[in-house]
Every structure is written in structure tokens, then in C-alpha cells.
């Protein structure tokens, strides 16, 4: 058989096998997961007032020097309620530093929510316009970031934080 | 085309409700100083993908993050930023994922130039094959002869 | 009881499909004609049981049997009766049943109308159709059973997705599936020809009307989907290049190449391999579309709730059907260089160009649709390809297609000369260029913002400037040339007292439809006006001379929703034009919010109003979307005309007559590789 005969006979089936491999690679993966652009980079600069003390402004520099989590939440977000007990566990039992980023919320509703469900946060930054959240690449609450002592973003998880998620996403990167 | 399969969107909408993307935001329309700014705004929000939706641009989505992103596009247009600067602002934060018009780079060469190269190459091959065929003597074929006869009849009817 | 009967019917249908698949093949090998003939009656019986299954599911919906899981997830006691019928295909399981039912209908139609085909050939066609049927029936029964019970029954259902509670849902999916699934017929004919080893023009002649018909249904199915999306999704878009939309568009592109390639193979005996390959690809792409929608590998607005198990099943099935048929092709494909000779300037070359362009375009859409998956697999990061990418690439690809299209009908088979084409078209070419420029000037005076640049760079501006003009040139070129051809043809046929060929007239009709479609698209993308504004009760807003007055809103309760209904009065130069009532509905069952746009449709413009959000607590100030969309109806009108062309061609007398069989007998056996 000539080369061109081989090509005509073989190319379609080879193309199909390639296609099938591509399709197979996608099965079981969740295409909606959006990885963070910030992993391994410096966290964006921010200067935000605190939720409880509006006149006090906290910047990224103020938080340097220790590893900490930023948990993006809002009182309007049901999933934040579901993950809240675990955030409390992180803060109280695991002795981790969790900074809250209260996103697109009002002070009244946020404080009422914390009163009802408890406040596990070391500090709570108040981002009512939501721009700092967007600088972090937040698409929807809740999202959680792990920031190193020098301000680098180590890991991010979007969605409800659970012990399993914590183990796979963050546990390796914790400094004792 | 909206194939019948919208049902699960329902499920996903419920899901996004849980994730809090549907929180109502006061989404008042914007006014612009010039037609050009208005057109640029329209074009940009149609080219930016909502990071939390199934497959929507921020113009067509009511997710609360889309409302914010629209506001940022508007503010940056008001500040006199150009289209590239605005797009870069978003891709820095959410990745190339938010650009429906993917930038030309090494990994996207195949989608931007692959189809055109394929079209040109196959056109060249085609021309070569037709020319080669013309020169070749093909043995008479009874089946073909019959088709040729039918064809003469058929061609008479055509302009 | 009814659901169990439905379940039983599907199991019987599966068994019968098994017989329909296996027996004729064994018969063909052993020469046992009784077994070969089993194909048809088993197809009828299997089709009947699928229909009974479908009826059983419909009854479960009408009776609101919430002990059936599928009914409970896709219906609700408040759902109006007529939507309970359409809810049958509102979800994954039921739409799969519709798929299977449509496949059975096509199979029965082939069995009924192809009785004059050689028995062994028909037996093999039935076998292939049966195999596809087996795949879908077992997919349904093993992974996605629509009759799955939940005992005890649930007191209330979840409700049909509000987006689907609409007239568009009644007509769009069945017609689209008619097209999708109809390509299975061309596929079965091609596989039967491969099995037989006779890839001459004979099988193509039999296959052509079926392909044309399926293609016509696919065209109208896609068109209706576009129309539905336009008014139902509330943002006035008519095509988004969403993966699922692409999933239906790829088979269409491949089928478009196929119907042109079939013409060459039937008339000239050339491109035999190519026609087979396109027949296999078109249906494989239908299956791929099914995979994309149901496997969850890709994000889409229209995807079904998915799970990996379903994806694996369809992929395996795709492997059997497409992989198997391509392997058969690799073994059996015809000798190269078969078929009659032709020169560079000939109808063969033009049709081949069509095939080339449409095949590459199909690959482009396929690559673009799957690229996010490919990028993910190679760790290139997340990418999105949307309208800016596909719109641009598609436009570029279609430039040569549109330029060559009207020359096709004018050209002669075998040998022609380019000089003759030039003489035939030069005046129309000039008229087109000038006419398009004149129309462009008129468009600019009508909407001056047409040439307000959105882009910053020169290329972007040039593209924005050229696009409408090119679109108009294409539309005029296609329409005028096609008209000229039709007039010439009818005159000549009259003079010779020859009957008009429906095949040729259908072709001209479809080509003309492309021109109509192009006008619509060009006008809509270049001269639409879209305003997002804030309106208080009693305020007016002017769009292109139309004065929209917002009279106010009221609240009312529908059968299963609460709605804010806006009231807009529209006048033009003080004359009453229309009253529009856009709605914002909140469905009682799930709390889903739906935007129901209101449209005043017209031949030359649509006025489109949709309600955004109330901006005050008193609900007397709203954000409102007002669109003026010139010529948008022409997009769908074009699709409709294209479909009519397809149907006209499919009903050509040549296919209906008994001559098929006689001709086939006179064709001598040919050597096969």
C-alpha cells in the first residue's frame, strides 16, 4: 500500500483516538474549579478598616511576621454558616490564626451574624465595596487563603472548608 | 442553542445560591460621557467571563461578583484606562480564564493559527492532487461510463 | 403500575433491538435470507415498545406520580398541564428517552420507505440502527432509568426548570433531536456500504434524501434554539458559542459538507472515501454533542446534571460506534483515485472546496470547544474561548465559502473554464460591491455609532469597519447570483419543456436562505442599539426614534409563579406602535427568578424590553433593558428558508421513484480493495 493510502485509512482512526483521550482526561474532573493566580506570589496590598473599629485601618504590612489564614465571608452567604464551626475549630483547637475578610456586607448584619454564630477571627477586615476581595481573585464567598509570614500566598480554597479539604489543601504548608 | 438541557442549571443555580453568588446587589445602570466609552463598556463586559458562573459573560450574569466586575470596568473606563489595561487588570486577578478572547501566546498558537494553517495546507494539497489526477490516465470503468452518460443528459438542463 | 409497564416496554425494546442488530448480520454472513429479513419487523416492534415506554412516562407526568424520581425532580403539582407533556424531556433521563424514540422513528421510516433496497443492504442498515438503539436503551436502563421509583412517593415535586416552561421547549428539542439522530441513517448506510465493500455511487443515492432531511431538521432545530434563547434568556443574544451550542453546530457543519460531498459521489463517483468518512463523522459528532452535555467535562449554561459514570458510558459507546466504524473504514476504504477525472475549473473542485472549508471549520469548532480540556490536560492553565474567538475564526473561514458558493450551481461537471464563471458573474459582482457600499452608507446614517471604534489599535478598528461591509457583500453576492441562476435555470427548463428538479430548486432555496441569514447577522452585529437605563414610572426614553414610556409595574400571580409585570407604551413620531409587558417572575416551587422579556417583532426591527431590578423600595424605579435590533428576524427566517431547501431537495422525484432499484441492478459489480 502506498503512503497516501495508509494516511487515508489511518488518519481518521488516529484522530479519533486522540479525541477520545482528550475526552477521557476530562471525566471526573470538576471544570468549575478556578485556581488562584496568586499562589507563590505576594498577596495583594490592602488597607482596610476593621469591622468593630471603623477608624482603625489595617494594611498588609501590619499582618506580616506570622503565618495566617484569610477567610472571606459574608453574613449573606449560607455556606459560610456551614463552614463556621470548622473555622472555630481551626482557631480554638488548632491554634491557627484566622483573619476574617468580611466581604460585601454591612457592619450591622455582620456583627449580628457573629453574635449569633460566634467570632473565631483574630482580626476582621471590613471590605464593603468588595475591591480587596477582587484583588485576591475571590469569585464568591467563602474562600480561604493561607498567607506566609513574609506575605506570600501559599494556598487557596474556594468553597466550604471541611477537615478533609483542610488536610489536602493546607495541612502540608503549615509552619509549626 | 439552547438545547433541552437546562434542567441542571436549576440545580447549579441552587448551588450558586448556597455559595452566595446570587446575593442581590443594587445594580443601577451607568451613564457615560461619550458614545465611545459606552460602546467600549458594552464590548468589554461581553468579553469578560463571570468567574463564578457556568458559562456567562459579566454582561449577562447577575451573580454578585459580576455586578462588582461591571462596576470596576466602568470605573476604569472613567479613569481613562485603555482596553488592554482593563483586561490585564482582570486577568491578573482571575487568570486568562476570564478573557473570552484568549491572548495569543505559545500555548494558544494552535487555536489561533492551527485552523488557518490547516485550511491553507489542505488547499495546497488539494490543488496538487487535482493537477496530478488530470495528468494520470485512468483505465475505462463501466460504472464511470454510465455516470458520464447520465451526466450529459443532466447538464443539458443547467444554465 | 404504569411506570413498571414503561420499564418493561423499554426492556423488551432492548431485547428486540438486540435481535434487530444481530440476526441480519448473521444472516448476511451465512446467506440465510430469513434472518436478514428479520431486521425490519424487529425494528417496528422495538420502535413500538419505545413508544409505549415514552407514553408511560408521559402518563406518569400527567398524573403527577411523584413516586417516580424523574417525575418528582422535573415536575410539580402546580405545573400547568401542557408543560407536564414537555417536562417529559426536561431532564437527562427523559431527554434520553426522547432521543431513543426519535431514533426508533427514523429506523421505522427507513424500514418503511426503503423496501426497494437490496435485502442484504437493508438488513445491514437495520443492524447498525439496532446497534445504536441498543447503546441508548442500555444507557438508559443501566445508568439513567427514567422509571426509577422512590418509595414511598414524595408528596411534592421539585418543579421543571422555569427556563423550560415555555413554547420553545415544546418544539425545539424534538426537532433538534430529529436532526441529530437523523444523521444516524446516513451513518448506517455508510457502514452498510463498508460492510458490503461496495462503495460506489449506489448507496449514496439511497442515502441522500435521508441526509438532506436530517440536515433540514438539524437546521430548524438549531434555528429554533437560537430564537428561544433570544427571548427566553432575557439578554437578547441569539448565539453564544457555548460548548453545548457547538455540540449541535458541529454535526450541522459536518452534515453540510456531507450533503455536498454526496452530490459529487452520486453524480461523478468521486470522493467516495470522503463521503463515507463524512457520514461517519457527522453522526459521531452528534454523539460527541451528547457526551459534552451529559458528562460534565465542560462548563456550559445548558449542561445536564452530570456524573462521571454517564460520561464513561457514552465515551465507551462512542468508542464502539465511531472507533469501530473508523476501523472498518481503515480496512475497507476504497482505492484512491477512483472516480471520474475533472479539471481544476469544474463543479467537482468547487464542491471539494466546500468540503474542505466546512471540514476545517468543524475541526476549528471542535478544537475550540475542547481546548479548555486540552489545556487542562497539558497543564497550560485555565482558558476560555467565547464569541470573540469563534466569531472571528468562523467569519474568516466563511469568507472563501461564501465567495465560492454561488459559483457552484453555475459550474459544469468535469470540465469548465474560469473565464465562463467570470463572464457569468462580473456584473453581479460589481453590483454587489457598489450595492453593499450604498447599504453601508445608509446604515451609517441610521446608526452613526457604527463607526465609533471600540478598539484601541488599528487592526481592531479596521476589522470593525470592514465586517459589516463584508457581510453585506456576501449577502448580496449570494442572493443575487442565486436569483440569477434560478431564473436562468427555470427559463431553460421551460424552453426545453423539461420538468424542474426539486433537488436543484432546493439547493437554490437553501443558498438563498444563507444570504437572508447573512443580512440578519450583519445588521444585528453592526447596528443594534442596546440601552441599560434607569426608568421611573411615567418616564420616557427614545431609542432610534421609538419612544418607550414606562407606565409602571403591577404584581400578579400566575399558575406557579408571582410576577412583577412592567407596562411600556411605545410610539413612533407620536403614533402608537405597541404595548409591551416584560415580566420578572419568581417561581413558587424553587424561588427561581426568571426574566421574561417582551418583544415587539417586526420584519425590519425588533423592539425588546426586559426588566432588571427594582431600584427603590417602592418598586417605582427600575433598571430596564431596551434593545432595538434591526433585521434580527432575518437570522431565523434564513434558517427557515435553508430548512425548506433541504426538505425540497429531499423530496426530489429521483429519490421517490422506484428507479433506484432498476439503476442499481444495471451497475456492474466493482472490484474492491
pLDDT tens digits for range C149-176: 887 877 788 888 887 888 887 889 999 9
Residue A78's closest chain B neighbor by CA? Answer: B18
Chain A residues inside the 8 Å CB shell of B79: none
Burial environment of residue B145 by CB neighbours within 10 A (0 to 12, 13 to 18, 19 or more): exposed
Which of C325, C347, C363 terminates a domain? The answer is C325
Tell me whether residue C340 is in a domain: no
Which of C295, C325, C355 terminates a domain? The answer is C325
Tell me whether residue A2 is in a domain: yes
Count how many domains chain C has. 2
pLDDT band (50, 70, 90) for residue B9: very low
**Strands C529-536 and C621-630, bridge-based pairing:** antiparallel
Instruction: Express as a percent the part of chain C with pLDDT over 70.
Output: 96
Calculate how close chain A gets to B65, using CA atoms only, in Å.
6
pLDDT, block means (10 residues), chain A with 176 residues? 77 92 86 86 93 91 91 92 92 91 92 92 92 92 92 92 90 81
Query: Is C23 within 8 Å of C42 (Cβ atoms)?
Result: yes
- A14 and A90 in a single domain? The answer is no
Q: What is the mean pLDDT of residues C577-596?
A: 88
- A23 and A52 in a single domain? The answer is no
Tell me whether residue A40 is in a domain: no
Tell me whether residue C166 is in a domain: yes
Count how many domains chain A has. 2
Calculate how close chain B gets to A35, using CA atoms only, in Å.
8
State the residue range of the domain holding A9: 1-29
- A97 and A162 in a single domain? The answer is yes
pLDDT tens digits for range C619-636: 889 999 999 999 999 999
Q: How much is the pTM?
A: 0.91
Chain B residues inside the 8 Å CB shell of A135: 93
Determine contact: B39 vs chain C, CB below 8 A.
yes
Q: Report the run of H or E that residue C213 belongs to, with start and end.
A: helix C201-232
- A21 and A89 in a single domain? The answer is no
- A20 and A58 in a single domain? The answer is no
Q: Which chains touch B (3 or more CB pairs under 8 A)?
A: A, C
pLDDT of res. B145:
62
Q: Report the run of H or E that residue B66 belongs to, with start and end.
A: helix B64-78
Tell me whether residue A36 is in a domain: no
Chain B residues inside the 8 Å CB shell of C90: 4, 7
Determine contact: C452 vs chain B, CB below 8 A.
yes
pLDDT of res. A173:
84
Tell me whether residue C108 is in a domain: yes
Q: How far is CA B124 from CA B120, C396, C398, in A?
A: 6, 18, 18
- A25 and A86 in a single domain? The answer is no
How many angstroms from the chain centroid is the CA of residue B80? 27
Contact B93 A80 (CB under 8 A): no
- Give me the residue from A78, A129, A139 closest to B65, CB to CB: A139
pLDDT of res. B25:
43
Tell me whether residue A37 is in a domain: no
- A60 and A140 in a single domain? The answer is yes
Chain B residues inside the 8 Å CB shell of C530: 42
Calculate how close chain B gets to A176, using CA atoms only, in Å.
30
Query: Is C313 within 8 Å of C139 (Cβ atoms)?
Result: yes
Tell me whether residue A73 is in a domain: yes
C window 368-397, beta carbon within 8 A of B:
368, 371, 375, 378, 380-389, 393, 396-397
- Give me the residue from B3, B4, B96 closest to C381, CB to CB: B96
Tell me whether residue C389 is in a domain: no
pLDDT tens digits for range C215-265: 999 999 999 999 988 988 777 789 999 998 999 999 999 999 999 999 988
Contact B20 A74 (CB under 8 A): yes
Determine contact: C221 vs chain B, CB below 8 A.
yes
Tell me whether residue C488 is in a domain: no
pLDDT of res. C199:
77
- A2 and A73 in a single domain? The answer is no
Tell me whether residue C546 is in a domain: yes
**How far is it, in rounded angstroms, from Cα C305 to Cα B12?**
8
CB neighbourhood size of C387 (10 A): 18
- A1 and A78 in a single domain? The answer is no
Chain C residues inside the 8 Å CB shell of B134: 341-344
pLDDT tens digits for range B14-63: 333 333 333 344 567 888 989 899 999 999 999 999 998 888 899 888 88
| Chain position carrying cell 424605579 | C621
Tell me whether residue C614 is in a domain: yes
Query: Reduced to 3 states, what is the DSSP secondary structure of residue C77?
Result: coil
Q: How far is CA B102 from CA B49, C299, C385, in A?
A: 11, 17, 6
State the residue range of the domain holding C579: 529-633
Chain A residues inside the 8 Å CB shell of C247: none
Does the N-terminal peptide bond of residue C519 adopt cis geometry, omega within 30 degrees of 0?
A: no
* Chain A: residues touching B (Cβ < 8 Å): 32, 34-35, 37, 74, 76-80, 104, 129-131, 134-142, 159
- Give me the residue from C301, C455, C670 closest to B83, CB to CB: C455
- Residues in CB range of A117: below 8 A, 6 or more apart: A81, A84
- A57 and A107 in a single domain? The answer is yes
Tell me the count of A-C CB pairs closer than 8 A: 81
Q: What is the mean pLDDT of residues C646-659?
A: 78
Chain C residues inside the 8 Å CB shell of A8: 273, 333, 336
pLDDT band (50, 70, 90) for residue C282: very high
- Write the CATH number for A85: 3.40.30.10
Tell me whether residue A23 is in a domain: yes
- A17 and A77 in a single domain? The answer is no
**How far is it, in rounded angstroms, from Cα C608 to Cα C610?**
7
Q: Report the run of H or E that residue C423 belongs to, with start and end.
A: helix C418-446
* Average pLDDT of the residues of chain C: 89
The secondary structure of residue C88, as a DSSP letter, is G
Query: Is C234 within 8 Å of C596 (Cβ atoms)?
Result: yes
* Average pLDDT of the residues of chain B: 77
- A144 and A76 in a single domain? The answer is yes
Query: Reduced to 3 states, what is the DSSP secondary structure of residue C452?
Result: coil
pLDDT tens digits for range B121-139: 999 988 888 887 776 655 5
Amino acid at each position: 500500500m502506498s503512503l497516501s493510502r495508509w494516511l487515508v485509512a489511518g488518519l481518521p482512526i488516529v484522530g479519533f483516538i486522540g479525541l477520545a483521550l482528550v475526552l477521557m482526561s476530562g471525566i471526573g474532573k470538576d471544570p468549575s474549579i478556578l485556581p488562584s493566580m496568586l499562589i507563590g506570589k505576594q498577596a495583594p496590598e490592602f488597607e482596610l478598616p476593621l469591622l468593630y473599629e471603623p477608624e482603625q485601618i489595617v494594611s498588609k504590612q501590619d499582618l506580616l511576621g506570622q503565618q495566617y489564614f484569610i477567610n472571606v465571608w459574608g453574613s449573606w452567604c449560607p455556606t459560610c454558616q456551614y463552614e463556621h464551626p470548622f473555622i472555630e475549630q481551626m482557631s480554638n483547637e488548632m491554634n491557627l490564626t484566622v483573619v476574617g475578610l468580611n466581604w460585601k456586607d454591612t457592619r450591622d448584619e455582620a456583627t449580628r451574624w457573629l453574635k449569633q454564630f460566634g467570632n473565631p477571627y483574630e482580626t476582621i477586615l471590613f471590605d464593603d465595596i468588595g475591591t480587596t476581595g477582587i484583588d485576591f481573585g475571590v469569585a464568591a464567598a467563602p474562600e480561604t487563603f493561607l498567607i506566609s509570614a513574609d506575605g506570600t500566598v501559599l494556598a487557596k480554597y474556594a468553597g466550604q472548608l471541611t477537615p478533609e479539604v483542610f488536610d489536602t489543601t493546607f495541612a502540608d504548608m503549615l509552619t509549626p | 442553542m439552547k438545547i433541552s438541557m437546562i434542567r441542571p442549571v436549576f440545580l447549579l443555580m441552587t448551588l450558586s445560591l448556597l455559595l452566595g453568588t446570587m446575593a442581590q446587589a443594587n445594580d443601577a445602570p451607568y451613564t457615560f460621557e461619550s458614545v465611545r466609552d459606552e460602546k467600549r463598556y458594552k464590548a468589554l463586559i461581553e468579553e469578560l467571563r463571570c468567574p463564578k458562573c457556568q458559562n456567562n459573560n459579566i454582561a449577562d450574569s447577575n451573580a454578585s461578583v459580576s455586578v462588582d466586575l461591571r462596576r470596576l470596568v466602568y470605573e476604569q473606563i472613567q479613569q481613562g484606562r485603555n482596553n488592554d489595561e482593563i483586561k490585564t487588570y482582570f486577568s491578573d486577578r482571575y487568570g486568562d480564564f476570564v478573557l473570552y478572547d484568549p491572548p495569543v501566546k505559545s500555548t494558544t498558537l494552535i487555536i489561533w493559527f492551527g485552523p488557518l494553517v490547516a485550511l491553507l495546507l489542505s488547499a495546497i494539497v488539494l490543488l496538487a492532487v487535482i493537477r496530478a489526477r488530470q495528468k494520470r490516465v485512468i483505465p475505462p470503468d463501466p460504472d464511470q461510463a454510465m455516470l458520464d452518460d447520465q451526466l450529459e443528459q443532466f447538464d443539458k438542463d443547467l444554465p | 403500575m404504569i411506570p413498571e409497564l414503561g420499564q418493561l416496554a423499554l426492556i423488551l425494546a432492548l431485547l428486540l433491538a438486540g435481535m434487530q442488530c444481530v440476526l441480519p448480520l448473521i444472516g448476511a454472513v451465512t446467506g440465510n435470507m430469513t434472518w436478514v429479513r428479520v431486521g425490519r419487523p424487529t425494528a417496528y416492534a422495538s420502535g413500538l415498545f419505545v413508544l409505549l415506554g415514552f407514553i408511560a412516562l408521559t402518563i406518569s407526568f400527567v398524573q403527577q406520580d411523584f413516586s417516580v424520581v424523574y417525575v418528582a425532580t422535573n415536575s410539580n403539582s402546580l405545573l400547568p398541564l401542557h408543560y407536564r407533556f414537555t417536562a417529559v424531556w426536561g431532564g437527562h433521563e427523559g431527554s434520553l428517552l426522547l432521543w431513543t424514540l426519535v431514533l426508533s422513528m427514523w429506523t421505522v421510516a427507513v424500514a418503511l420507505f426503503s423496501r426497494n433496497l437490496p435485502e442484504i443492504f437493508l438488513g445491514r442498515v437495520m443492524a447498525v440502527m439496532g446497534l445504536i438503539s441498543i447503546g441508548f436503551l442500555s444507557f438508559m436502563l443501566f445508568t439513567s432509568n427514567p422509571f426509577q421509583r422512590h418509595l414511598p412517593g414524595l408528596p411534592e415535586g421539585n418543579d421543571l426548570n422555569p427556563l423550560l416552561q415555555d413554547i420553545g421547549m415544546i418544539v425545539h428539542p424534538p426537532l433538534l433531536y430529529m436532526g441529530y439522530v437523523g444523521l444516524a441513517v446516513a451513518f448506517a448506510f455508510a457502514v452498510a456500504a463498508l460492510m458490503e465493500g461496495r462503495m460506489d455511487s449506489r448507496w449514496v443515492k439511497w442515502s441522500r434524501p435521508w441526509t438532506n432531511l436530517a440536515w433540514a431538521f438539524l437546521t430548524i432545530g438549531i434555528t429554533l434554539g437560537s430564537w428561544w434563547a433570544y427571548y427566553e434568556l432575557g439578554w437578547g443574544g441569539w448565539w453564544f458559542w457555548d460548548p453545548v451550542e457547538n455540540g449541535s453546530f458541529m454535526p450541522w457543519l459536518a452534515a453540510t459538507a456531507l450533503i455536498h460531498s454526496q452530490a459529487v459521489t452520486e453524480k461523478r463517483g468521486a470522493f467516495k472515501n470522503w463521503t463515507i468518512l463524512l457520514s461517519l463523522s457527522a453522526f459521531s459528532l452528534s454523539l460527541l454533542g451528547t457526551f459534552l452535555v451529559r458528562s460534565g467535562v465542560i462548563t456550559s449554561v445548558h449542561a445536564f446534571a452530570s456524573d462521571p459514570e454517564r460520561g464513561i458510558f457514552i465515551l465507551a459507546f462512542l468508542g464502539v460506534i465511531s472507533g469501530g466504524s473508523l476501523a472498518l473504514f481503515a480496512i475497507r476504504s476504497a482505492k484512491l483515485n477512483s472516480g471520474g477525472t475533472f479539471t481544476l475549473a469544474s463543479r467537482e473542485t468547487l464542491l471539494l472546496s466546500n468540503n474542505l472549508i466546512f471540514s476545517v471549520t468543524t475541526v476549528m469548532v471542535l478544537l475550540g470547544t475542547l481546548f479548555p480540556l486540552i489545556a487542562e490536560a497539558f497543564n497550560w492553565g485555565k482558558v476560555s474561548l467565547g464569541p470573540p474567538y469563534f466569531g472571528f475564526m468562523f467569519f474568516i473561514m466563511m469568507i472563501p465559502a461564501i465567495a465560492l458558493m454561488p459559483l457552484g450551481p453555475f459550474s459544469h461537471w468535469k470540465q469548465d473554464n474560469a473565464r465562463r464563471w467570470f463572464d457569468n458573474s462580473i456584473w453581479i459582482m460589481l453590483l454587489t460591491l457598489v450595492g453593499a457600499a450604498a447599504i453601508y452608507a445608509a446604515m451609517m446614517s441610521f446608526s452613526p455609532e457604527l463607526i465609533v471604534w471600540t478598539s484601541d489599535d488599528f487592526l481592531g478598528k479596521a476589522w470593525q469597519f470592514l465586517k459589516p461591509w463584508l457581510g453585506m457583500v456576501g449577502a448580496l453576492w449570494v442572493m443575487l447570483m442565486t436569483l440569477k441562476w434560478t431564473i436562468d435555470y427555470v427559463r431553460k427548463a421551460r424552453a426545453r419543456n423539461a420538468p424542474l428538479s426539486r433537488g436543484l430548486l432546493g439547493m437554490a432555496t437553501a443558498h438563498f436562505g444563507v444570504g437572508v441569514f447573512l443580512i440578519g447577522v450583519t445588521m444585528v452585529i453592526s447596528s443594534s442599539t442596546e440601552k441599560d437605563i434607569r426608568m421611573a414610572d411615567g418616564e420616557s426614553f427614545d431609542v432610534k426614534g421609538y419612544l418607550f414610556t414606562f407606565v409602571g409595574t403591577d404584581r400578579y400571580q400566575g399558575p406557579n409563579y408571582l410576577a412583577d409585570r412592567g407596562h411600556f407604551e411605545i410610539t413612533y413620531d407620536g403614533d402608537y406602535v405597541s404595548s409591551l409587558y416584560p415580566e420578572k417572575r419568581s417561581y413558587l416551587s424553587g424561588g427561581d427568578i426568571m426574566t421574561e422579556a417582551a418583544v415587539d417583532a417586526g420584519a425590519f426591527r425588533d423592539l425588546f424590553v426586559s426588566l432588571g431590578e427594582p431600584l427603590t423600595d417602592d418598586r417605582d424605579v427600575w433598571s430596564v433593558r431596551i434593545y432595538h435590533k434591526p433585521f434580527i428576524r432575518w437570522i431565523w427566517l434564513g434558517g427557515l428558508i435553508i430548512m425548506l431547501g433541504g426538505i425540497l431537495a429531499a423530496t426530489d422525484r429521483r429519490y421517490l421513484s422506484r428507479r433506484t432499484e432498476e439503476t442499481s441492478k444495471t451497475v456492474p459489480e466493482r472490484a474492491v480493495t
